[in-house]
Amino acid sequence: MLVAFSVAPSGTGRADGSVHDAVAAAVRVVRESGLPHRTTSMFTEIEGEWDEVFDVVKRATDAVMPFGSRVSLVLKADIRPGWTGELDGKIERLERALDDSASAD
């Protein structure tokens, strides 16, 4: 399964509203998990089996808790049993489709 998630604190008390320290704590958990992952400006994507992925999401959320009075978690999952390597595979298929349609023009 693939999971894209974003976790951030609110009620941080920071005048600039920045949450980068909290996000860094969450991303550190993801990186240390050893699961395939990718972090962008808005989400972190992680790939693995249900229990291991959700364990990492829970631990990443727990890592953010000390940074504010509450935590927001946004999550989207692509559950496709029997498929692996989809973190990159989906992008590779998209790029091939774009290349094929460009060469057909």
Q: Which fold has domain 2-104?
A: Alpha-Beta Plaits (3.30.70)
Residues 83-94: tens digit of each pLDDT: 999 999 999 999
- Which residue has 């972190």 as its token pair? 44
Domain coordinates in residue numbering, the chain: 2-104
**What pTM, to 2 d.p., does this model score?**
0.89
Q: What average pLDDT values come out for the chain (105 residues) when binned by 10 residues?
A: 96 78 96 97 96 98 94 96 93 94 83
> Cα separation of 27 and 6, whole Å?
10
Residue 79, Cβ density class (10 Å: 0-12 exposed, 13-18 middle, ≥19 buried): exposed
Q: How far from 10 is each of 31, 64, 68, 77, 102, CA to CA, in Å?
A: 23, 10, 5, 24, 44
